[in-house]
Amino acid sequence: MSEITKDSVTRSRVNARKIAVTAIFTAMAVVLMYLEFNLPFVPPFLKFDFSELPVLIGSFALGPVYGIVIELLKNLIHLPVTATAGIGEMSNFITGSFYVFTAGKIYEKHRTRKGAIVSMLIATAVLALLAVPFNYFITLPLYGSVLNYSTEAIVGMSSAVNPLITDKTSLVLWAFLPFNLFKGLVIGFITFWVYKPISKLINSTYKKTR
């Protein structure tokens, strides 16, 4: 077998492994997406789950593009059981992609413990800051036009659990912003401690293909 043929076979096997790992992380993310729960002082429609954990690990292990692919597949699979006409899934995909792509791209260039910490802190800031205008100008209006959930009704529901929320602006500042900050930090913290053993397992499968 020529060297070129050997290289092409190796690449094919590695790509097949990446697809398999992507499928595994997607399945984990889908399962975790169902295990959602409410947080104190956060409106009931903002439910926390750990589904970004395998997505972020996939972004670190396979690259930021794979992170977005896992994020997309996770939300597409969840669409048949959506309670938000797909608006929640769209929002989860876009904001989640901000997070995992930013973290994965930075870590791709700085593959150290410090690089991992910096990448997740920056990604959390990006997630929280970009989610504010996205929810203000896109998500909330869509809930009103598609599901007839007016912003006033959402604000009223939210103020019942957080008195700081009195209008649309305070809703995104005191609900969406802290929620996404908390989510990014928690997912990042867990990823920091579990990524290395998982990455060693993934890397060992790549070595077996060579």
Domain that holds residue 163: 3-207
* % helix, strand, coil for the chain, step of 5: 80, 0, 20
Confidence of residue 209 (pLDDT cuts 50, 70, 90): very low
* More confident of the two residues 34 and 202: 34
Could you report the per-residue pLDDT of 178-189, keeping only the tens digit for each? 999 999 999 999
Q: Are 79 and 33 in contact (CB under 8 A)?
A: no
CA atoms within 13 A on the CB side of 172: 17
Give pTM, 2 decimals. 0.90
Domains identified in the chain, total number: 1
> 63-97 burial, b if ≥16 CB within 10 A, otherwise e?
bbebbbbbbbbbbeebeeeeebeebbbbbbbbbbb
Q: Is the pLDDT of residue 125 over 70?
A: yes
Q: What is the CATH number of the domain that holds 118?
A: 1.10.1760.20
* More confident of the two residues 99 and 9: 99
What's the pLDDT score for residue 15? 79
